[in-house]
Amino acid sequence: MGAARPRGDVVVAGHLCVDLIPSLSGVPTITPGQLTDVGPLTVRAGGCVGNTGLDLAALGAPVRLAGAVGGDDLGRLLLELLDRPNVDASGVRVVASPTSYSVVVQPPRDDRAFWHHVGANEAFDVSAVDLDGADLLHVGYPSALPSLYADGGDSLCRVLAEASRRGITTCVDLATFDADSGASAVDWPRLIDGVVRHVDVLTASLDDLHCAFGGSPADPVSWAADLIGAGAAAVLLKADADGLYLVTADDRRLSRAGERLRRTAGAWAGQDLWAPSIDVDLVSTAGAGDAAVAGFLYGLSCDLPPHEALCAASMAAAARISSHNRLPAWADVADRFSAASAVVSPTTWPPPGSTRLSTMPALS
């Protein structure tokens, strides 16, 4: 896998923000009038565009970004953070709204929480995304983009349908949402059912699906089967400490996917694969799920077979949670983690040998 090279542009569109990540020595408490010492602040581009987009570029894929920032100081900083090799950020529009940001609360060896301001994402216009010359289209966090969940997801359906018409392989990454936000009023099962038939690769964490569908949490096998049945060509689920789960449809559905999947339909059809989490020293879970998606899309853009693309996702996630830095180049990721990665076909859930430790990261 070390010699893999991408074969076309990846357009990453959707949610974009600045992540503000203070270094913490323990679980923080908020007491009025009290001063609490914290460590250095990490400032980086976040959201699907800032995480998956820049991670894909770091791995070596040519990436075009589409999103919205404000014309304020934070927006100018964010545009500077997006100025990286392999990145074309000309599709990031400056709008009148303030720039979106998240305060990422990451206690040591624990999962993170977010204080988020949607900001300029309210003005994101998916119809303005330039699809010319794109090989893959990845749209992230529709629940954080009001224009994408308005009118039953009509604008999202339109851009995905147009991408499919052009032979572009489409991917959508779901996200959780605040129960008090506008997204909570959306009929998400109905929206996803309407959108998913235009989606070649659907990615989500178990928390994302539980947030969207409610009820008792289902196991990944059941959720993946339902989403494949609804029309997705492939489903990649981020199953917390249990790793990553990939299921694909039959060759008839893959033959109707974008060119990237269509020409390898025989190799990708009917897959049921699990990649256990790679054991690393946990530094931060922020962006781990986006890194997994970046690794998977990188593998797809390099025409890797499904088990190798899934390994690429697992290795990228391991690289993310073991460092505060952006992902290194693909060759470095593969050299470091190839020996530790594995893919199996599970017959039960949780798969044999899996672990559910509270100290392990949730890849959402």
Each residue's pLDDT tens digit, 74-95: 999 999 999 999 999 999 999 9
Residue 180 contacts by C-beta under 8 Å, 6 or more apart in sequence? none
Helix or strand run (H / E) with residue 113: strand 113-117
Each residue's pLDDT tens digit, 223-241: 899 999 999 999 999 987 7
User: Sorting pLDDT into bands at 50, 70 and 90, what band is 343?
Assistant: confident
Amino acid at 177: F
For each of the domains in the chain, give its residue range(s) and CATH number, in order of start: 10-26+40-340 (3.40.1190.20)
The per-residue DSSP string of 297-361 comes to: HHHHHTT--HHHHHHHHHHHHHHHHT-SSPP--HHHHHHHHGGG---B--SSSSPTT----TTSP
d(CA 235, CA 210): 15
Among residues 167, 176, 170, the alpha carbon closest in space to that of 156 is found at 170
Residue 325 contacts by C-beta under 8 Å, 6 or more apart in sequence? none
Each residue's pLDDT tens digit, 102-155: 887 766 666 667 788 999 999 999 988 999 999 999 999 999 999 999 999 999
Q: Is the pLDDT of residue 361 over 50?
A: no
Burial profile 1-26: b = 16 or more Cβ within 10 angstroms, e = fewer: beebebeebbbbbbbbbbbbbeebee
